[in-house]
Amino acid sequence: MTEAALAQPDWHRLVWRLAIPIILSNISVPLLGMVDTAVMGQLDAPYYIGAVAVGTLIFTYIYWGFGFLRMGTTGFTAQAFGAGDAAEMRAMFQRGLILAGTISVAVLSLQYPILAFGRWAIDAGPEVESLASTYFQIRVWGAPAALANYVVLGWLLGRQQVRLALLLQVFLNGLNVVLDVGFVLGLGWGVEGVAAGTVIAEYATAAVGLWVIARTLRGFAHGAPRARILDATQLRRMISVNGDIFVRTLCLITAVAYFTARGAEQGDVVLAANAILMQLFMLVSHGLDGFAHVAETLVGSAVGARDRHHLRRAVAVTTIWSAVVAGVFALGYALLGGPFIDLMTVSSEVRAQARDFLPWMVLMPLIGIWAFQFDGVFLGATRTKALRNGMILSLATLIAVNTVMMPLWGNHGLWLSLVAFMTMRSAILIVRYPALVRDLTTD
C-alpha cells in the first residue's frame, strides 16, 4: 500500500474514491447485454435474440469459470503493491498473461467439443441452434484477448488504478455497442455482426490495456528476471489459489443453474417470475461487488504490508458502506419492486407470481452483503481454501434445504434454499475471519 494510502486520514473518502469507478464499470456489463438484445430485437424474427442469448450463455460459463484470472491477479498484485515490491508486481502480471495464453490455446483447441456440449445442454430450436453455433464460432477467436483483459483488469485493481480500469471497461463496452449497431443495423450482418463486434472490441481493449501497463512497467526501477517470473514456489502458489477460485466459481455456477432448473420444474409462469426477480438479484450483486472489489484491493495491500490495523480498518469501512447500500437496495425493492415487475412483463399471471415472491428479493440484499463482502476480503488475502470449502458446503446446503422445503412450500421453499445458500456462505467466512486477522503481525 502506498504511503499516501496508509496515511489516508479519511478512509470513507478513500473507499468511495475506489468504489465509484468500480461500480460504474460493473454496471456497464449488464447494460451491454441489454444493447445486444435490443439490437437483435430490431431484426424480423425472435430467434435472433435467442441465438445471441444462447451463444452468450456458453461464453458466460467459460469466462466466468476462468474469472480467477482477474480475482487471483488482483489479490497477488495488491499484496505486492502493499509490500512495495515492484519486481513481484511485474512478475505477477507476466505470470497472469502466461496462464491466460495457455488457457486460450486450450479453449481454441477444444472449441468444437465445447460447442457440441453447449448445444446438447441447451435444447434450443433449429434456427436458434444454427445461429448460436455461428455466433460461437466467430466469438471464440476473441478468447485470448478476453482472458488477457481479465489479467489487465485484475492488475490495475490490485494497484488501485481504478480509474484506468473504468476507462478500459467503458472503452470495451462503448466500442462494442458502436460496432454492434454499425455491423447489424448498418451492414445487416445479423448475429455475425454482434460476434464480430465483440471480438474486435476485445482485441482493441487488450491492445490499449497492454500498452498502458507497458508504460507503467517502464517506470519501475527494476524489471523481473525470467527466473522470478517462473519461480516454482510462486507458480505453485498461483496455481493453488486459482484452482481454489475455479472450484469456488464452479460451485457458484452450479448453484445458479440448480436454482433455475428447479424453478423450471414448476412451470413457465414460475420460471418467468423467478427470472424477473433474478434480474434484481444481479443488479444488487453488481452494486455490492463494487465494495467487495475495494475490500479486495485494500485488504491485499494490508496483507502485503503485514499491517493488521489497516486490514481491520479496510474491512470495517467497506462493510459499513456496503451495508448502507444494501439497505437502500432492500428499501428500493420494497417500494419499487412491484412497478419494476409490471415493467418487465404484461402477463398478469407472471406479475402475480413475481409479486408473491418479491419479499424474498427484498431480504436478499441484507443477507447477501456479507457473502459478497467477505468474498472480497478473502480474495484480497488470497485465503482461497476458505472460499472453496465454504462454497462447497453452501452448495450442499442449497440442495439439502431445497430437497426438504420445496415439496412443502413450492417456490417459496426454493427461495428459502437460496437464502440458506447465501447465509451459509456468509457464516463460514465470518467465522474464519478472526483467524485471517491473527495471521498478520503489525510492523
Question: What tens digit of pLDDT does each residue of 169-195 get?
Answer: 888 888 888 887 888 777 878 778 888
Q: Which of 33, 19, 66, 8 is nearest to 321 (CA)?
A: 19
Q: What is the predicted pLDDT for the residue at 205?
A: 92
pLDDT higher than threshold 80 for residue 55: no
What are the pLDDT digits (tens) for 394-438?
999 999 999 999 999 999 999 999 999 999 999 999 999 998 888
Q: What is the mean pLDDT of the chain?
A: 81
CB 398 within 8 A of CB 255: yes
Q: What is the predicted pLDDT for the residue at 301?
A: 83
The stretch 351-378 carries a mean pLDDT of 91
What DSSP character marks residue 84? T
**Burial of 389: CB neighbours in 10 Å, binned 0-12, 13-18, 19+:** middle
* Cα 365 from Cα 362, distance rounded (Å): 7
pLDDT higher than threshold 90 for residue 153: no
Residue spans per domain, the chain? 1-230, 243-443
Q: Please, what's the b/e burial string for 105-118 (b: 16 or more CB within 10 A of its CB; e: otherwise)?
A: eebeeebeebbeeb
- Judge if pTM exceeds 0.85: no
pLDDT bucket at 224, cuts 50 / 70 / 90: low
Report the range of poorest mean pLDDT among 232-241, 245-254, 328-337: 232-241
Sign of torsion over alpha carbons 286, 254, 54, 140: positive
Which cell numbers in the block locate residue 238?
498461483
